[in-house]
A and B are shown apart, each in its own frame.
Chain A
Amino acid sequence: MCYPHHQIRMLRGELVGLVPLQSTDELALYRWFNDPRVRRRAGRQTWKACYSLEQIQDLIKERSAQPSRIDLVVFDPIKESPLGMVELTHLHPMRDSAEIVLVWGETDDEEKELETLALTAAFAFNSQGLHRIWTRVPSVDQFLISIFQEMGFKLEGVLREDHFIGGTWRDSVLLSLLSAEARPC
C-alpha cells in the first residue's frame, strides 16, 4: 500500500500521517483484524475471531458509508506503510462528544502513537468541532492508558468487569479529553 504525499485529505505529522480508510487498505486490516494480539488488546467482544478478506471489504464499505464515524489509517510517511487505525465513533450533529479508538496493528511505538492521538485530537476539536473525546481501554493495557494520559486524557472512572477475556471478567478505564485541555498540535 502506498500513501502518496500529494493525498488531498491527509493529516500529517512528523512521524505519522493519517488518511481516510479506503478499500486499498484491505490487506492491512485483514492482517490486523485476524491478529489475536490486536483482538485481545481491543477488549471488544464485538470483534469476531477471524475475518475473511471479503468480510474486511464489506467492513470498509460499511464504515465508509456511516456518517456517525470517521476511520483514519495511520501510516509511516517514510516507509509509506500502514501502522494502525484510529476511529472516531458516536459522531452526531446534536452531540459534541465522540469516542476515539486506537487500533495499533504493528509493533508499539510510543512516539508514533502519541503523535497519532495528537493529530486526531486536533482534527476532532478543530475540524469536527467536538467538545469532548473519550475512550475505553482495558485496565490491563497500562501502555495504552499511559499514552492517553500523556496526551492529557483524564481518568473518569473504571468500568468494572466490562469485558470477558482469558476466562475472566476484566475492568476497563474510561478516559476523556476536553477541547480546552488539548495541547496545540
Chain B
Amino acid sequence: MLMGEKVDLGAAERAYIPYFVKWINDPEVTQWLKVEPPLSEAMEHDWVDWIRREGRMVFTILTKDGRPIGNAGIEEVSWKYRRAAIGIMIGEKDCWGKGYGSDAISTILRYCFEELGLRRVELITDSDNHRAQKAYMKCGFQVEGVMRQYRTKNGRTVDELMMSILSTDWFAKHPPKGPGE
C-alpha cells in the first residue's frame, strides 16, 4: 500500500467492483476519461482479472477511513527509458475539490521517483479539464504541448494537453531523505 497524507492507495480488490461500476457509468465522472461506457459488472470483473493476471500497477484510492473513492494507475512503463504515464479518477463526486486527487497524484509520484527510480512521468488531459490541470500543476507537472484534435467527445474533437514532471523537478521540491528517515 502507498500511504499519502489524505489518502492511501491499495490494490483494486474485487470487493470494490460495485464502486467501479458506479463510477465508470456516471457521465459526470467519465466526461474526462478515455473510456467508453456503459461498462457492466462482468466487464469490471474482467478488468480486475486482467490486473491480477498481468500484475498491472492499478490502485484504488482510499480515504484514511478506508472508503474507496477512485482509481489511479501507472501505465506504459518503459524501464529502458525510465518513464511512465499515470492516470487518475475520483469517482465519488462528494470528494471532488478536497485535495484527495492531488494527494493521490503526489503519492504516486513519490513512488515513481523515490522507489521505482523513474526519470519522467507524463499524462495527457483534455484541454478543457481545467480543474485537473490545476491539480497536476500543483503536484509539479508542466504543460509541454497541445495534441490537436486528439480525440472525439460528444461529437466534437478535443485537444489534449501533454503534461510531464521529471525526477529533477520532483527532487528539487522533495530532496532525497537520509538513510534513517
Contact = CB atoms under 8 A, between A and B. Distances in A.
A18 to B, nearest CB: 27
A49 B171 contact: no
Interface residues of B, number: 29
A35 B8 CA distance: 11
Nearest to A31: B1
A50 B14 contact: no
A168 interface: yes
B59 A166 contact: no
A125 interface: no
A78 interface: no
A167 interface: yes
A89 interface: no
A46 to B, nearest CB: 11
Contact of A50 (B11, B115, B171, B177): B11
Interface residues of A, number: 21
A30 to B, nearest CB: 9
Contact of A52 (B13, B57, B171, B174): B13
A55 interface: yes
A164 B180 CA distance: 15
Given A167-B176, A170-B179, A36 B3 contact: yes
A52 B20 CA distance: 15
A45 B114 CA distance: 11
B61 to A, nearest CB: 12
A50 B1 contact: yes
B6 interface: no
B82 to A, nearest CB: 11
Contact of B11 (A34, A45, A165, A170): A34
> Lowest 3 A-B CB distances belong to which pairs?
A167-B176, A52-B11, A167-B114
